[in-house]
Homo-oligomer: A and B are copies of this chain.
């Protein structure tokens, strides 16, 4: 592209996060082509004034920047190197921004594989919900070569309120994200254990929420997720199975490094138990509901 032209961006994955990110990119004046396995999502984006594409290859054909917004490493690899994948058409020198949470070793492998073909790879997991995605106010934990950062910057600026530049190597962003997920997962499980145990004691759990959020036992996740339990509302903002995946990656990483992580191992079992009980696609605060069901403890909105 000429130096003065706005870069063209392809967004692959128009779910609750990707759609908001694509809209933030458009608001910043970039030309954005959206692509999703759901044709309806693409239609919706086109109705908002975006461009649509049928495949990642088609979306990437004229892009300077590709933003991949899918849930895991396998989907990212398919988008890159599968049939009709980005690597078939993306111009040399363009950059691929990967936002999925994954094992740092896998991020390094995907980056190496793409960079050997003359394109850049930015390892850039995201934090913040759908609302912050739509507002262009995500936190992005990024690592990659200076060239990858430089190419990606117009898109990063449009999507992030807070950009952490965590080193030259792909994998660093992923590693920071995994540490965050370890903590976030344990805190959801602990919050669930605590609130259900409090209900079992007969405590008023609204009062528990008030006391804990003002005390040393507070966590970001306790404060953010426990209102779902107070309201008995388990419509998924983020699903149980996301942490089945992410705490699973932690276990894989830790086992391969011979590093014991018993606290997050226990938390993973609680997410697995909740998923096994049929709540895998429900909101991750459903772990509290699982504790309550198992122990015959009454929570708001649950049958006696």
Residues of A within 8 A of B (CB): 104, 127-128, 139, 141, 162, 164, 166, 172, 175-176, 179-184, 186-187, 189-191, 193-194, 197-198, 200-201, 203, 207-208, 210-212, 214-222, 224, 250, 254, 257-267, 269-270, 291, 294-295, 297
Contact = CB atoms under 8 A, between A and B. Distances in A.
B175 A182 contact: no
Contacts of A218: 183, 219-220
A269 B219 CA distance: 21
A262 B254 contact: no
Given A127-B215, A172-B203, A216-B224, A186 B263 contact: yes
A214 B179 CA distance: 13
Contacts of A258: 295
A34 B295 CA distance: 46
Q: 7 closest A-B pairs (Cβ-Cβ)?
A: A183-B217, A219-B219, A266-B266, A180-B217, A186-B190, A184-B217, A218-B220
A214 to B, nearest CB: 7
Nearest to A217: B183
Contact of A219 (B175, B176, B187): B187
A208 B254 CA distance: 18
Contacts of A265: 266
Given A197-B254, A200-B259, 5 more contacts: A172-B203, A179-B203, A183-B191, A219-B220, A260-B294
A144 to B, nearest CB: 16
A260 B297 CA distance: 12
Contacts of A191: 183
Nearest to A139: B215
A182 B218 CA distance: 11
Contacts of A212: 179-180, 183
A211 B181 CA distance: 12
A270 to B, nearest CB: 6
From A127, A166, A218, A222, residue with most partner B Cβ within 10 Å: A218
Contacts of A270: 262-263
